[in-house]
Amino acid sequence: MRGKFNGTPSTDGVGDVSCFVVRPSSSGAEARIDGLAWIGDEYEVRVACQLMKPPQLPAGAEQDLRAMLAAGIDAPAR
């Protein structure tokens, strides 16, 4: 999955490495947020939010998705 994710990896976020990409709506098209985090080579979490209507992301959407990514990466692998 990491190879298909168009984001810049960082060690500043959750997990060993993570990246977050926000694509605001342009010309009325959908808005999208994607987040990816992983620990080592064995555990990976991805969250995504895609809005068709309204095409604008609501206030707090990015922070909510970051919190979901953190919760997913902090959960024990099953």
> pLDDT tens for residues 11-49?
888 888 888 888 887 777 788 888 888 888 878 888 888
Report whether pLDDT(72) > 80: yes
pLDDT: is 29 or 67 the higher one?
67
User: What is the spatial distance between Cα 28 and Cα 26, in angstroms, rounded to a whole number?
Assistant: 5
Residue-averaged pLDDT of the chain: 81
Number of structural domains in the chain = 1
pTM for the whole thing?
0.73
pLDDT value at position 5? 64
Residue of 35, 38, 40, 19 whose CA lies nearest to 68:
35
Please give the average per-residue pLDDT across 48-60, as a whole number: 82
Range of the domain at 17: 2-74
